[in-house]
Amino acid sequence: MKSLISMTLAMSFFLVLYTKTPGFAQSGTVSAEDVLRKTSQKLSSQKTLRYRYRRELNYFSEGIHHEMSGNCYLDFSSSDPVLGVLYQFSNPDLFAIFNGTEQFQCNRKSRMMQLNVKPNRPDFESLSFFYNSPVTFRTALPLILSDASVPKAVADTLVGTTPFYAVVFALKQKVMGYLGTYRPITQERTIRYRLLINKATDLPVEVIESNSSNQDFTKVSFQYLDAKDSPADSSWYYSSYLNEYTIAKPEAEKSQLISYGQIAPDWTLPVFDATETATLNQCRGKVVLLDFWIRNCGFCVASVPELNALYTQYKNKNFELLGLNPHDSKEVIAVFKQKIQPNYPLLYDARNVAKRYGIGVFPVVVLLDKTGKVLYSGEFRRGNLAKLIEENL
């Protein structure tokens, strides 16, 4: 109860910040639940949506500012059991399509196509154009409306002369996943959302996500287009593009995450901010936790304090923790280390290692026993990992 009261007070302060903005006024005619319910019903009733998507990342704590945009077409009329929506997304760098059977993405610069002919739901969970999108809120709003632990508030505002609702709500130690289900976070923080909803259409046009720990935020906006202008039937199939693109990774080569009981392959990697290299074989006789991370990943950043705590607790007890980066340059890693301050060694140029271990999303941790066998692979959960580490030291 104390936690809920604290969140409610925080939400009241959050709403006051917005209502101090010119044009804002607390709504006295409808509740936040009423507005979210109408928006949820409107999204659920849509058979198709077509819009311009723009996402802006402002991670000041990591020195990151990044923007991406493109046109998205969603078709909810499909009976597809995997995702429940067909999509096409396109911008100058790529276009990505799921037709209910095949998922493929074409790189316009390299002229290469990534093809997955038997996708599963996890294959869609980190698509950047689904971040805080109508796909997210179509699933998330019913959860939020039924969750009494989520404080909610609403205010009236104008953008130009157009009236909008600004609905704010907060999630404690969890965040909305790209596909709309809750995803827990290990760090003690509250994730705050502000939805700008058009009063005339009941559709969201802007989403701002921030947190209680720092000034980082993301902003996503939607400019709705005429959904009747649907893609051509032939555009949904990868075979239509084989004259222009080469398939880069057939399904048969799709890697699987290294699993319990397997012997982890050895590797040699450079150590950041040092002249020497490190090998996995050097760690034999120790319990080893490998953290695969990239800079442009909020969950990777959020896990660092917990990883630091594990490293401090066990580093003198035949335990080693190594952060492996497959993508980022030494310059990028330097900024990350300065701002986020991981205490454990960071290794880089780990692209081939990530591939051999089946790492396709981030962050992922792999825990090894003293002989190099896998004890665990998957999401970072400090409590579970600490128990396994204790049992195997």
Q: Which pTM value belongs to this model?
A: 0.67
Q: Is the dihedral of CA 328, 331, 334, 335 positive or negative?
A: negative
Residue 326: helix, strand or coil by DSSP? coil
The pLDDT assigned to 178 comes to 95
Residue 393 contacts by C-beta under 8 Å, 6 or more apart in sequence?
A: 287, 314, 317, 318, 319
| Same-domain check for residues 263 and 234 | no
The pLDDT assigned to 230 comes to 86
| Same-domain check for residues 178 and 30 | yes
Range of the domain at 278: 255-392
The pLDDT assigned to 250 comes to 54
Among 227, 248, 269, identify where a domain stops.
248
| Same-domain check for residues 70 and 6 | yes
Residue type, 118: K
The pLDDT assigned to 65 comes to 87
CA angle 128, 35, 189 (to 5 degrees): 50
| Same-domain check for residues 326 and 355 | yes
| Same-domain check for residues 93 and 174 | yes
| Same-domain check for residues 240 and 281 | no
| Same-domain check for residues 197 and 272 | no
Residue 42 maps to which CATH number? 2.50.20.10
| Same-domain check for residues 321 and 219 | no
| Same-domain check for residues 9 and 155 | yes
Among 219, 248, 277, identify where a domain stops.
248
| Same-domain check for residues 156 and 185 | yes
Among 204, 222, 248, identify where a domain stops.
248
Residue 301 maps to which CATH number? 3.40.30.10
| Same-domain check for residues 201 and 342 | no
Regions in the chain scoring below 50 on pLDDT: 1-13, 15-24, 251-253
The pLDDT assigned to 10 comes to 44
Please state the domain count of the chain: 2
| Same-domain check for residues 319 and 238 | no
The pLDDT assigned to 257 comes to 92
Distances (CA, A) of 178 to 140, 181, 313: 10, 8, 33
